[in-house]
Amino acid sequence: MKKKNPNLFSFGKVYCSIFGHKLRVSKNVTDHIHEYQCAKCGMEMTDTANGFLARLTPKFKETNEYLAKIHRRRKGKSLAQAS
């Protein structure tokens, strides 16, 4: 029952499994939380609130959008106070 389909594995995924993901920051959520995307296979990761790196699930995306909103608001406020 072994069927080998070469299209099943993209080169990027093979590369990543050998050399690891090549993560690039794709979005700054806050000063400490960033979203990353692998340049090789396109996998998305994110920093979490407790300092871990996790797969960017729709749930995390939602959380990040919320955090970014608060972050922008806070930043705007402190800038207004500083001037």
Quick one: which of 16, 33, 45, 56 contacts Zn ion (CB under 5 A)? 16
Q: Is the Cβ of residue 15 or residue 30 nearer to Zn ion in the bound state? A: 15
Q: Write out the two tokens for 35.
A: 């979203």
Q: Write out the two tokens for 12.
A: 């990027």
Instruction: Report the site for Zn ion in 33-72 (rule: CB under 5 A).
Output: 38, 40-41, 43
Q: Is the Cβ of residue 33 or residue 38 nearer to Zn ion in the bound state? A: 38
Distance in angstroms (rounded) separating the CA atoms of residues 59 and 13: 24
Stretch that binds Zn ion, among 21-29, 45-53, 56-64, 72-80 (CB under 5 A): 21-29
Neighbours of 14 (CB within 10 A): 12
Distance in angstroms (rounded) separating the CA atoms of residues 64 and 81: 25
Binding site for Zn ion (CB under 5 A): 16, 21, 38, 40-41, 43
